[in-house]
Copies of this chain bind each other. A is one copy, B any other.
Amino acid sequence: MKEENLWCLKENGYDPGLHKHYEGLFTQGNGYMHVRGSFEEGCSDAPQDEEYLRFPDNVTLEKPRHPKSKQGTFIPGIVGRHPLLKEEIVNLPYYLGVEFLSAGERLDMDLCRISGYQRWLDLRDGSLHRSVVWETAEGMKIHCTFIRYLSMADTHLCIQQVQLEVLSGEGSLEVKATLRADVRTNGMNHYARIVPSADSEGSLSLETITEEGNQIFMLSALEVSEAVTWHAENTRMMAALRGECRLRAGDRLTLSKLTTVTTDRDMEEGTVRDRALAHLSHARNLGWEQLYNRHAAKWKSKWQHADIRIKGDDAAQVNVRASLYHLIRSNAEQDARVAICAKGYAGEAYFGRYFWDTEINLLPFFLHTNPQAARNLLLFRYNTLEGARRNARNYGYRGARYAWESSLSGEEQCANWQYADHEIHITADVVYALYHYVNATGDEEFLERYGIDILVETARYWCDRVDWNREGYGELLGVMGPDEYLPFTRNNAFTNRMVKFSLEQTVACLDSLQSGKPDSYAAAAERLGLRPDERELFRHTAEKLRLPYDSRMEIVPQSDDFAHYADVEFESLWTDRSRPFGHFISQERNYRSKALKQADVLELMLLFPQEFPREQLKAAYAYYEPITTHDSSLSVAVHGIVASWLNHKEEAEAFLQRVMAIDFSPEKKGAAEGIHIANCGGLWQLIVYGFAGLASAMWSGTIKLQPRLPEGWEELSFQIVWRGEHYRITVNSGAYEVQKLNGGEAVAGTTI
A417 in contact with B487 given A55-B84, A84-B55, A477-B565 (CB within 8 Å)? no
- Known: A421-B588, A487-B488; 15 extra A-B contacts, CB below 8 A, are A55-B84, A395-B586, A396-B586, A421-B586, A421-B587, A467-B592, A475-B566, A477-B565, A477-B566, A478-B588, A488-B488, A490-B561, A560-B564, A561-B561, A561-B564
A592 touches B396 (CB 8 A): no
A564 contact from B55, B417, B477, B585, Cβ within 8 A = B477
- Taking CB atoms, residues of chain B closer than 8 Å to A561 are 490, 561, 564
Q: How far is the CA of A441 from the CA of B589 in the complex (A)?
A: 38
B589 and A395: CB pair below 8 A?
yes
Task: Count residues of chain A with CB under 8 A from any CB of chain B.
Answer: 30
Bound CA span A490–B489, Å: 12
Q: Which residues of B contact A592 (CB under 8 A)?
A: 467, 477-478
Number of copies of this protein chain within its complex: 2
A252 adjacent to chain B (CB < 8 Å): no
Q: A16 in the interface, Cβ–Cβ < 8 Å?
A: no
**Complex Cα distance A564/B395, Å?**
21
Please determine whether B488 and A394 come into contact, CB atoms closer than 8 angstroms: no
Query: Chain A 75-90, CB within 8 Å of chain B: the 1/0 string?
Result: 0000000011000000
Does A302 lie at the interface of the complex (its beta carbon under 8 Å from any beta carbon of B)?
A: no
State the CA gap A83–B560 with chains docked (Å): 40
> Does residue A53 face the partner (Cβ distance < 8 Å to B)?
yes
Chain A contact surface mostly: loop
Report how far A438 CA is from B417 CA in the complex, Å: 42
Residues of B within 8 A of A417 (CB): 587-588
A422 close to chain B: CB less than 8 A:
yes
Interface hits, A563-585 → B, CB 8 Å: 564-567, 585
Residues of B within 8 A of A487 (CB): 488
8 Å CB contacts to B: which residues of A609-635?
A: none
Residue of A84, A477, A490, A592 with highest tally of chain B CB at under 10 A:
A592
Provide a sorted-by-A list of 18 A–B residue pairs whose CB atoms are within 8 angstroms: A55-B84, A395-B586, A395-B588, A396-B586, A421-B586, A421-B591, A422-B588, A467-B566, A467-B567, A475-B566, A477-B564, A477-B592, A478-B588, A478-B591, A478-B592, A560-B564, A561-B561, A561-B564
Q: What are the 10 closest A-B residue pairs judged by CB atoms, nearest first? A: A478-B592, A467-B566, A421-B588, A477-B592, A395-B586, A488-B488, A396-B586, A478-B591, A490-B564, A477-B566
Chain B residues, Cβ within 8 Å of A589: 395-396
Closest chain-B Cβ to A707's Cβ sits at a distance in Å of: 42
Q: Which residue of B lies closest to A489 (CB)?
A: B488
Tell me how far the C-beta of A699 lies from the nearest C-beta in chain B, rounded to whole angstroms.
33
In whole angstroms, what is the CA distance A561 to B565 when docked?
A: 12
A44 to chain B minimum Cβ distance, whole angstroms, is 30
Residues in chain B near residue A585, CB distance under 8 A: 396
Chain B neighbourhood of A564, CB < 8 A: 477, 490, 560-561
